[in-house]
Amino acid sequence: MKQHHHTTAEQAEPTLSQIGTWPVSLFQLHARLAPHFARSEPRRHALLYLQAVISEIPRKNGWQIAEHAKQARPYGMQRLLSRAVWDEEGVRDELRTFLWQTLCPPPLPGETVSPAAPFPVLVIDESGFPKRGHHSAGVQPQYCGATGRVENCQVGVFLYDKWSRNMMIQIVGTIGRSS
């Protein structure tokens, strides 16, 4: 019988101690993003939104995100994404800096940097998902890569860390303002 030969390394699972640091890291990230929000309500909703996006709720629409945030209605989250005043470019720049610092931390004192050390490679992938209705955020007639034609779809943007070959972060493409 032929042996299976895998071309990718075993998937690394996070340890319990790493998982335990995630909530603190999210609060630290939120603290870095907070100055880019004009008012306290959108600032608070931004943290609740981030917590919901990375949670395990099966559908990440306005109602489920509001329910996860223990809010009766989705209007606060919808207002954050559509009309709230916040510095989108500032948030983008801060996230870029945060990712760079996370993926390429400075060497510890006394540590030598290997010139042949691998560097992280991030790949951004935009994918369209066919949708039947108009009720999800960002659904409109647009080119859908999954079907190869223009139709009602929603676009998702994914960020992959190609060094470890694991999906690293999922960013919903409809986070930005819809036109």
Beta bridge partners of 154: 129
Rounded Cα distance between 26 and 32, Å, is 10
Residue 101: CB atoms within 10 A of its CB come to 10
* Per-residue pLDDT at 2: 53
By the 8 A CB rule, do 150 and 144 touch?
yes
Rg, C-alpha atoms of the chain: 19
Question: Using one digit for the tens of pLDDT, what is the confidence trace for 63-86?
Answer: 999 999 999 999 999 999 889 999
* Per-residue pLDDT at 11: 58
Residue ranges of the chain with per-residue pLDDT less than 50: 164-179
By the 8 A CB rule, do 122 and 104 touch?
no
Assigned token pair, 46: 């931004």
Rounded Cα distance between 36 and 121, Å, is 28
* Per-residue pLDDT at 147: 87
Question: Using one digit for the tens of pLDDT, what is the confidence trace for 152-172?
Answer: 888 877 777 665 444 444 443
Assigned token pair, 99: 């990712």
